[in-house]
Amino acid sequence: MGGIFGTISKKSCVTDVFYGTDYNSHLGTRRGGLAMYSKEKGFVRSIHNLENSYFRSKFEPTLDRFEGSTAGIGVISDTDAQPLVINSHLGRFAICTVAKIVNIEELTQQLLEKNMHFAELSQSATNPTELIALLLIQGKSFKEGIENVYHNIKGSCTMMILTEDSLICARDAWGRTPLIIGKKEGAYAASSESTSFPNLDYETVYNIAPGEIIELKADSMTQIRKPNKKMQVCSFLWVYYGFPTSTYEGKNVEEARFSNGFNLAKTDDVEVDCCSGIPDSGTGMAMGYAAGKGVPYQRCIAKYTPTWPRSFTPSNQTMRSLVAKMKLIPNKAMINGKRVLFCDDSIVRGTQLRDNVKGLFDAGLKEFHMRIACPPLVYGCPFINFTSAKSDMELITRRIIEKFEGDANKDLDKYATTDSPQYTKMVDEIRRQLGLTTLKFNTIEQLIKAIGLPKCQVCTHCFDGSSKYTLEEQADED
């Protein structure tokens, strides 16, 4: 995934960019970057590897180099090193993105055939942000260049462009990832997370719509491209990677998670002694479930936050398994001899949950009932990088379908249909493989109700394979 923050101010904005970007740290673990502008120094950029450290500890010692900056952008990225600083016919600018480009190899070849070159390789492959910048500078204006990006990439792209005069904010053509504007006296800011705003004294004033382009100056906000008519915002904002205090499209993350658990409890006839969340994204749902069920909410498992504070884990499977084991600690005093219902956001591979189940039973748990905030993940996501899975076969559902059918792609629609014979058989096999007493997934209908947006505006592709939009359909929105 990834998160971006930017601001433009009448006075120094260094601390705002630093802390605003840091408030996006839960969205990624690989790279962090800042680019700021002042009339005296021009553009100043810094990028650090975050895989073995944290954003604040990497950037705080060198903040003095940005002194005097009145505009800046920052990024937390799980894909590439950014922001990039470009000198082009559009002028000098810095750019950062939250993007997934499915057709990146095809576009790379097309640009090379036009005698363009790539200077910023990311692990010997094309840097996605540089590719976006090269598509951008083919336009005669920033608006035309951004539209060229929209028309050519398959996947998604939300971006910020810092020029010498303004901050240009462009949300993905289908609005799959958010971009929110905040305002305070003498300054505007934009962020992937509205959580960035309160402690920096910004007030949320606007949600940029799909395909919309907004130009910010210290004292003005101007629309330079009207929004597209359709939206497919990612449902996983509310299920998993959104921060509890953030709000997207007017719908708060923690409120949605609480409602999700509360409503599920009202349709669940299991008898338990208490309810607990798998930290962190299962907590809000578990509190809602406990309230709806009328049972105590207890912290039967806790995350050791002093050294494992982040929700995302390393891309390496061996390290991911180690982190999952080390950061979550069962509380034997709270679970010994009890029937406990646990809530979590999703099941991807199932590896971490299987280890947790064994550890909790070893600690004296009597029954392990599992409730999941979303439906089973049957389809891989072609639109954003919300997991580190490289193949659909990393999904536990696909491996089970292959076991049953001999073909991991057979009858996916049937396995994705709640309460169908195939769905019921698949869920029971997941329960058996993970060693759970009972397992129940939320339905798409219940999830959409908790989010509070119309189904047509929310992407649920990973559950039902429904969002198969093409470049031609995107172009029709212009």
- Averaged pLDDT for residues 45-50: 92
Residue 281 pLDDT level (bands cut at 50, 70, 90) = confident
Domain membership of residue 8 (yes or no) is: yes
Based on the fold, state whether residues 305 and 427 are members of the same structural domain: yes
**Given the structure tokens 């309810």, which residue do they identify?**
275
Q: What is the pLDDT of residues 174-197, one digit of tens each?
A: 999 999 999 999 999 999 999 999
Residue 311 has pLDDT above 50, yes or no: no
Domain membership of residue 184 (yes or no) is: yes
Contact 55, 103 (CB under 8 A): no
Based on the fold, state whether residues 211 and 333 are members of the same structural domain: no
CATH number for 447: 3.40.50.2020
Cα 380 to Cα 400: distance, rounded to the nearest angstrom: 15
- Averaged pLDDT for residues 251-271: 97
What pLDDT, on the 0 to 100 scale, is given for residue 319?
Answer: 64
The Cα-based distances of 339 to 183, 272, 273, 277, 360 in angstroms read: 48, 5, 5, 14, 11
Q: Pick 53 or 302 by higher pLDDT.
A: 302
The Cα-based distances of 336 to 271, 299, 363, 367 in angstroms read: 17, 13, 7, 10
Domain membership of residue 247 (yes or no) is: no
**232: nearest Cα among 461, 478, 416:** 461
Residue 474 has pLDDT above 60, yes or no: no
Based on the fold, state whether residues 28 and 129 are members of the same structural domain: yes
Range of the domain at 345: 257-452
The Cα-based distances of 22 to 34, 53, 453 in angstroms read: 11, 13, 29
Contact 249, 233 (CB under 8 A): yes
What pLDDT, on the 0 to 100 scale, is given for residue 78?
Answer: 87
- Averaged pLDDT for residues 353-374: 94
Domain membership of residue 472 (yes or no) is: no
Q: What is the pLDDT of residues 123-152, one digit of tens each?
A: 678 999 999 999 999 999 999 999 999 999
Residue 69 pLDDT level (bands cut at 50, 70, 90) = very high
Based on the fold, state whether residues 50 and 157 are members of the same structural domain: yes
Residue 386 pLDDT level (bands cut at 50, 70, 90) = low
Beta strands, E only, 123-260: 125-126, 155-163, 167-170, 180-184, 187-191, 203-207, 213-217, 220-225, 233-234, 247-248, 251-252
What pLDDT, on the 0 to 100 scale, is given for residue 314?
Answer: 55
Based on the fold, state whether residues 330 and 222 are members of the same structural domain: no
Contact 444, 460 (CB under 8 A): yes
- Averaged pLDDT for residues 281-286: 95
Domains in the chain, number = 2
Residue 478 pLDDT level (bands cut at 50, 70, 90) = very low
**Given the structure tokens 């006839």, which residue do they identify?**
269
Alpha-carbon torsion, ordered 445, 447, 453, 455, to 10 deg: -40
Based on the fold, state whether residues 209 and 296 are members of the same structural domain: no
Domain membership of residue 262 (yes or no) is: yes
SS3 86: strand
Based on the fold, state whether residues 180 and 315 are members of the same structural domain: no
**Given the structure tokens 């949320």, which residue do they identify?**
204
Based on the fold, state whether residues 263 and 317 are members of the same structural domain: yes
Buried b (16+ CB within 10 A) or exposed e, 197-229: beebebebebbbbbbbbbbbbbeebeebbebbe
Based on the fold, state whether residues 438 and 302 are members of the same structural domain: yes
Residue 198 has pLDDT above 90, yes or no: yes
Provide the token pair at 156: 């998604």
The pLDDT > 70 percentage for the chain reads 92
Average pLDDT of the chain to the nearest whole number: 92
Q: What is the pLDDT of residues 224-250, one digit of tens each?
A: 999 999 999 999 999 999 999 999 999
Residue 308 has pLDDT above 80, yes or no: no
Give the DSSP H/E element, type plus range, for residue 18. Answer: helix 14-22
What pLDDT, on the 0 to 100 scale, is given for residue 151?
Answer: 96
- Averaged pLDDT for residues 92-99: 98
Cα 437 to Cα 335: distance, rounded to the nearest angstrom: 15
Domain membership of residue 410 (yes or no) is: yes
Cα 108 to Cα 103: distance, rounded to the nearest angstrom: 9
Residue 19 DSSP class: H
The Cα-based distances of 1 to 77, 158, 242, 268, 317 in angstroms read: 7, 12, 11, 33, 17
Domain membership of residue 475 (yes or no) is: no
Based on the fold, state whether residues 135 and 272 are members of the same structural domain: no
- Averaged pLDDT for residues 316-325: 64
Q: Whole-model pTM?
A: 0.93
Residue 3 has pLDDT above 50, yes or no: yes
CATH number for 219: 3.60.20.10
What pLDDT, on the 0 to 100 scale, is given for residue 391?
Answer: 84
- Averaged pLDDT for residues 354-377: 94
Based on the fold, state whether residues 137 and 16 are members of the same structural domain: yes
Q: What is the pLDDT of residues 18-40, one digit of tens each?
A: 999 999 999 988 899 999 999 99
Cα 355 to Cα 106: distance, rounded to the nearest angstrom: 40
Domain membership of residue 171 (yes or no) is: yes
Angle between helices 421-434 and 396-405 (to 10 degrees): 120
Residue 471 pLDDT level (bands cut at 50, 70, 90) = very low
Residue 406 DSSP class: S
Give the DSSP H/E element, type plus range, for residue 132. Answer: helix 128-136
Buried b (16+ CB within 10 A) or exposed e, 123-149: eeebbbbbbbbbbbbbbeebeebbbbb
DSSP 248-283: ETTEEHHHHHHHHHHHHHTT-----SEEEE-TTTTH
Based on the fold, state whether residues 305 and 165 are members of the same structural domain: no
